[in-house]
Amino acid sequence: MASRINKYLSEVGYCSRRAADKLIEEGKVTINDQIPEMGTKVKEGDQVKVEGKRIEKSTKQKNIYLAFNKPVGVVCTTDKRREPNNIIEYIKFPTRIFPIGRLDKPSEGLIFLTNDGDIVNKILRAKNNHEKEYIVVVNRQINKDFIKRMSNGVEILDTITKSCFVKQLGAKKFKIILTQGLNRQIRRMCESLGYRVKSLKRVRIMNIKLDVPTGKYREFTKEELSKLNGLLDDSSKTFD
């Protein structure tokens, strides 16, 4: 059965569909030594290459799901040539994996890595309202007005952020639970209200909590994966 090229690269565990789209746009992918258009389908017997290297499906591939505590300074990219402090080189996992979503370079905490492209696409769809929880420290004292304004939505990037849960934890510290994934969202929200983020740590994604030391990772438990898949059951179907 034919699959679109981005879906094919996702299914074989090479990268997410989003990353595949970028590779295709950059002309780094070929099908039978021809650069394909976006949406071209891979048929049985076609030879797919990325940057000249043959990519094939493996019937023995085991799905990998990791919970990693990303340190500050590590970059969530698989591009080893452009970014020496990339997450893949840091972890050095023995088989090919890629991050689900990202945490910016100055941030730390929980991020998932996997070779399962389908779960990537479901989690990344913001409209699925998947919760992500953060602990944030800012540069000056916060008050009830700050908490209320953060909770009700802040104007950034030509939009108003969705209402969210925010709780004060200390003079300059708060917890925030988002269901959006706008670029540098929390930092931009704070800046919009006149605050600067000093530290930002993600401590939960959906049902999985951060429970490993900085720079370490662990595999999902069977129970975690089962519950995660249950939470994703209502996710929008990805396009073929």
User: Would you please indicate which residues are annotated as catalytic (active-site) residues?
Assistant: 104
Report strand pairing: 173-178 vs 132-138. antiparallel
Distance separating alpha carbons of residues 113 and 101, to the nearest angstrom: 9
The answer to whether residues 65 and 114 touch, using CB atoms and an 8 Å cutoff, is: yes
Identify the CA nearest to 151 among candidates 143, 160, 162. Answer: 162
Determine the Cα–Cα distance for residues 73 and 60; give it in Å rounded to an integer: 35
**Hunting for tokens 């290459």 — which residue is that?**
49
Cα(101)–Cα(89) distance, integer angstroms: 17
The region, left, alpha or beta by phi > 0 then psi within -120 to 50, assigned to residue 15 is beta
Q: What angle do CA 171, 174, 176 make, to 5 degrees?
A: 165
What sections of 46-169 are H helices per DSSP?
A: 87-91, 117-124, 144-152
DSSP at 87 = H
